[in-house]
């Protein structure tokens, strides 16, 4: 059995890895095939369900709702159905509150029909209710199907919160391959983002002695390779290729569960997307599917890392840049660009102290001592042209301008990425070596200024 197959990983259960951490896939069953929804009643019964709370929005119910309810009806399994209103619900307090208020406490299992928002919401509600959770995927559009965390907007800041990892993931290829091509491209974009997240995880290990696991990284790379190798057939909606994307995304979720944190599956590229999502909530500015934005962020990150490779850190320059940094002015910029969402970032910095001069000096010592190792990691990244070709194959947008974002919005997203979470990423490295403003001017000039 392939040691990186989903079947093998589920058979291992909980085990202690050579990295020293106990790994737990959390998800118990994964069914990815044509007609997979037919197995839903069996899965409900396997996990002790007698009455299901079925959650969807109007689009996801249109994609698979009749198949799900017909399967439950045929098996004689009762259910309460709740369909979220709105054209495109957001994963925020309003959506979660609405689902919780409509939750039927006589139900003993939750079945969600959907992808990103629906799955993130269902995981949280299942955790609160303390009941098993099944996700029926409607599009291979994001990597969170199997993970135990949910990406939500809380107090207008994009955060990851603990939910209940799904007990069962069902990917019916008849449904998945019929999903909009833009959503399939979104899933590929979310997977391609892993090139950056894995590289940044390795770089943070070098600079900050952060926990790192080769087995997890290899698992993600295996899923990533499946997706990239299938790009041409994905564009044809080939079910085998769509299956590879779905399997890759489930592998990523299992890897995140193994790590216990999102570090292996998201980095600077995801934070471009988070900034654009937060601005959409606050100001109504354009935003696209998460994976589409992550894909664009990945291409932007490759440009950034190409510039980093040309730099030889100057310790005196870096120390002077940090000393001259005006954090109060930067807070004003965050509030201007993000509105209320900036407040939690500012509170987080009071704990993180990434701008503290002593902490910066310690990191700078590590950076300059291990610069060749850092560059060696960056050299493992694919080229911009390689990935741009993959994007062209599936018709995915490659630039922020293609999804309606201005040069100013792209520039500010890059600068703000270092403040989203307490995670060491490329923009933090550039700030540490005193080069972030120069690189921003070179790669993301504000043509609106």
134-166 pLDDT, tens per residue?
A: 999 999 888 889 988 888 888 877 788 888 989
- H or E segment at 168? strand 168-172
Q: SS3 letters for 61-114?
A: HHHHHHHHHHHHHHCCCCEEEEEECCCCCCCEHHHHHHHHHHCCCCCCEEEEEE
Distance CA 188, CA 229 (A): 11
- Its sign, for the CA torsion 6, 10, 12, 14, is positive
In 12-70 the beta strands, taken as DSSP E runs, fall at: 14-16, 22-24, 29-33, 52-57
Phi first, then psi: what are they for 7, rounded to 5°?
-55, -45
| Mean pLDDT across 203-226 | 94
Helix crossing, 407-420 with 327-338: angle to 10°?
120
Phi first, then psi: what are they for 376, rounded to 5°?
-60, -40
Please count the residues of the chain.
449
Q: How many CA atoms lie within 13 A of 342 on its CB side?
A: 16
Asked if the model's pLDDT at residue 1 lies above 70, the reply is no
Which residue, among 415, 414, 416, 406, has the nearest Cα to 448 in the 3D structure? 406
| Mean pLDDT across 75-92 | 91
Q: Is 380 exposed, middle or buried (0-12, 13-18, 19+ CB in 10 A)?
A: exposed
* 389 Cβ contact partners less than 8 Å away, ≥ 6 residues apart: none
Q: Under DSSP, is residue 179 helix (H, G, I), strand (E, B) or coil?
A: coil
Helix crossing, 268-283 with 407-420: angle to 10°?
110
**What digits encode the pLDDT tens for the residues 242-296?**
998 899 889 888 998 999 888 999 999 999 999 999 999 899 999 999 999 999 9
Quickly state the pLDDT bin for 167 (edges 50, 70, 90): very high
Distance CA 183, CA 177 (A): 10
Greatest alpha-carbon pair distance for the chain in Å reads 73
Quickly state the pLDDT bin for 449 (edges 50, 70, 90): low
CB 160 within 8 A of CB 344: no
Asked if the model's pLDDT at residue 75 lies above 70, the reply is yes
Asked if the model's pLDDT at residue 51 lies above 70, the reply is yes
Asked if the model's pLDDT at residue 448 lies above 80, the reply is no
Asked if the model's pLDDT at residue 388 lies above 90, the reply is yes
pLDDT confidence of residue 226: 83
Percent of the chain with pLDDT over 70: 99
* 139 Cβ contact partners less than 8 Å away, ≥ 6 residues apart: 63, 115, 176, 179, 180, 183, 184, 186, 187
pLDDT confidence of residue 248: 87
Which residue is associated with the tokens 């309003």? 94
Asked if the model's pLDDT at residue 327 lies above 90, the reply is yes
| Mean pLDDT across 313-332 | 98
pLDDT confidence of residue 222: 86
**What digits encode the pLDDT tens for the residues 403-415?**
999 999 999 999 9
Which residue, among 138, 143, 441, has the nearest Cα to 294 in the 3D structure? 143
Give the single-character DSSP code of 47: T
Give the single-character DSSP code of 400: G
pLDDT confidence of residue 88: 79
Question: Which residues are 171's β-sheet partners?
Answer: 32, 137
Distance CA 143, CA 135 (A): 13
Give the single-character DSSP code of 194: H
The b-or-e profile of 412-448 (16+ CB within 10 A means b, else e) is: bbbbbbbbbbebbbbbbbbbbbbbbeebbeeebeeee
CB 411 within 8 A of CB 446: yes
CB 56 within 8 A of CB 83: yes
How many of the other CB atoms lie within 10 Å of CB of 169? Answer: 28
- Model pTM score: 0.92
Which residue, among 345, 368, 356, has the nearest Cα to 418 in the 3D structure? 345
Q: Range with the lowest mean pLDDT among 90-99, 330-339, 389-398?
A: 90-99
């Amino acid at each position: 059995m392939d040691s990186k197959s989903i079947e093998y990983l589920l058979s291992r259960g909980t085990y202690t890895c050579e990295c020293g951490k106990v790994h737990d896939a959390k998800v118990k069953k994964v069914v990815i095939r044509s007609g997979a929804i037919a197995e839903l009643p069996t899965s409900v019964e396997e996990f002790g369900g007698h009455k299901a709370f079925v959650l969807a929005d109007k689009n996801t119910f249109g994609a698979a709702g009749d198949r799900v309810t017909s399967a439950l009806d045929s098996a004689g399994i009762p259910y309460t159905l709740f369909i979220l209103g709105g054209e495109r619900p957001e994963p925020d307090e309003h959506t979660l509150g609405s689902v919780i208020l409509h939750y039927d406490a006589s139900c003993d299992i939750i079945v969600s029909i959907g992808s990103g928002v629906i799955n993130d919401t269902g995981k949280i509600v299942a955790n609160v209710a303390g009941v098993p959770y099944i996700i029926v995927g409607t599009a291979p559009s994001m990597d969170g199907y199997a993970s135990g965390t949910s990406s939500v907007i809380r107090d207008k800041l994009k955060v990851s919160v603990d939910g209940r990892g799904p007990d069962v993931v069902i990917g019916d290829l008849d449904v998945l391959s019929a999903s909009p091509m833009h959503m399939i491209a979104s899933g590929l974009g979310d997977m391609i983002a892993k090139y950056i997240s894995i590289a940044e995880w390795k770089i943070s290990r070098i600079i900050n002695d952060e926990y790192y696991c080769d087995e997890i990284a290899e698992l993600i790379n295996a899923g990533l390779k499946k997706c990239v190798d299938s790009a041409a057939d994905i564009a044809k909606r080939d079910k085998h290729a769509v299956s590879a994307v779905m399997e890759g995304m489930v592998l990523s979720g299992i890897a995140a569960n193994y790590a216990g944190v999102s570090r292996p599956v998201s980095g600077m590229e995801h934070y471009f997307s988070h900034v654009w999502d937060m601005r959409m909530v606050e100001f109504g500015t354009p935003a696209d599917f998460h994976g589409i934005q992550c894909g664009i962020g990945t291409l932007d990150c490759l440009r950034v890392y190409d510039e980093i490779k040309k730099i030889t850190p100057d310790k005196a320059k870096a120390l002077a840049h940090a000393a001259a940094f005006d954090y109060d002015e930067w807070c004003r910029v965050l509030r201007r660009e993000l509105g209320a969402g900036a407040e939690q970032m500012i509170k987080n910095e009071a704990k993180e102290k990434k701008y503290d001069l002593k902490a910066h000096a310690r990191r700078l010592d590590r950076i300059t001592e291990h610069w060749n190792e850092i560059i060696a990691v960056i050299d493992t990244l694919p080229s911009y042209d390689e990935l741009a070709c993959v994007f062209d194959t599936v018709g995915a947008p490659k630039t922020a301008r293609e999804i309606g974002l201005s040069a100013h919005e792209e520039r500010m997203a890059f600068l703000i990425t270092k403040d989203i979470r307490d995670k060491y990423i490329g923009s933090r490295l550039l700030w540490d070596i005193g080069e972030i403003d120069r690189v921003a001017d070179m790669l993301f000039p504000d043509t609106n200024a």
